[in-house]
Amino acid sequence: MKPITKEVYLKWYEDMQFWRKFEDKLAALYIQQKVRGFLHLYNGQEAVLAGALHAMDLSKDKIITAYRNHVQPIGMGVDPKRVMAELLGKGTGTSQGLGGSMHIFSKEHGFYGGHGIVGGQIPLGAGIAFGDKYFNTGGVTLTYFGDGAARQGSLHETFNMAMNWKLPVVFICENNGYAMGTSVERTANHTDVWKLGLGYEMPCGPVDGMNPIKVAEAMYEAIERARRGDGPTFLEMKTYRYRGHSMSDAQHYRTKEEVEEYKKIDPITQVLEVIKEKDFATEAEIEAIDERVKNLVAECEKFAEDSPYPELNVMYDVVYEQENYPFLPHKL
């Protein structure tokens, strides 16, 4: 694995800080009714993405995930201004404003979407990996889902086929404790989700999802196993979300004290403490990073606010076209 250097720590801090502030801004815009529909935020889970990106080869590896999916494409290289524009339903968005919060997508950058159907992305991730194996691309697909989706039958069908065909896929359960609002303890007679892999003799195990180093190490081992042709791995990232399942979640299932306890092991704080302990940056340099993050979030907001909504005809262009039905002119 690439060494975890001073530069990596500084990049992790700036990236995770930006992802956090980006999501905070979206929460504010949602309250102003500028982001419509559902909004699922990633606050608290940033180490899962930061560690994975360090272990990946972005020239050929891919990610597919559920609907908590705004910051993953940004980490993979998508312009954050276009992501925010998509969330505001603007024509400059990643899908011309037609996908919205739950369906960010960028084939160019290897991000195969947020998916609104719970667990629906699990077989799709294996399918992408099948394509990589068939065409011998050397790519590995990281397939993310939550602890709630781990109860879907499609997971078991996919695990069985992925092991049988030794597909280059890594399955990652981001276990933030509550699915939509029901704790793991109340949905199964076991709390170790990773043990679901044992029934398929799939390498599996738990990972500290609040620490990007632990994530990077586990992900690298799993990715390299897949790339060698040895098949899939199932990792359970033990993480936590500070906000509700979505912005409409009243969070009656947990206490504020519990959330504050988890904030004591915040992934951003953990990285910042190492930066300070090892003198990787001065206070002034840290403040400069924070200022850059603040300015970039403001740029994203301005770009999204100033962008036009898509033209009405775009809605028809991407849905319906028939040669002998000339009454809907197409531009795309």
Q: What is the pLDDT of residues 67-100, one digit of tens each?
A: 999 999 999 999 999 999 999 999 999 999 999 9
Q: What is the mean pLDDT of residues 44-63?
A: 98
- Report the CATH number at residue 97: 3.40.50.970
Domain enclosing residue 207, as ranges: 6-308
Q: Looking up tokens 């109860």, which residue turns up?
A: 151
- Residue 248 vs residue 166, higher pLDDT: 166
179 in any annotated domain:
yes
Residue 188 pLDDT level (bands cut at 50, 70, 90): confident
Residue 50 pLDDT greater than 90, yes or no: yes
27 in any annotated domain:
yes
Closest CA to 240 of 274, 266, 214: 266
323 in any annotated domain:
no
Alpha carbon 58 to its chain's center: 15
81 in any annotated domain:
yes
Q: What is the mean pLDDT of residues 228-236?
A: 98
Closest CA to 307 of 58, 78, 77, 96: 96
Residue 330 pLDDT greater than 80, yes or no: no
Percent of the chain with pLDDT over 90: 89
319 in any annotated domain:
no
12 in any annotated domain:
yes
Residue 202: the pLDDT is 98
The one-letter amino acid at 231: G
Number of domains in the chain: 1
> The pTM is what?
0.94
317 in any annotated domain:
no
In a 13 Å sphere around the CA of 320, the CA atoms on its Cβ side amount to: 9
CB atoms within 10 A of CB 260: 10
Question: Whole-angstrom Cα distance, residue 31 to residue 276?
Answer: 35
300 in any annotated domain:
yes
User: 122-153, pLDDT tens digit by residue?
Assistant: 999 999 999 999 999 999 999 999 999 999 99
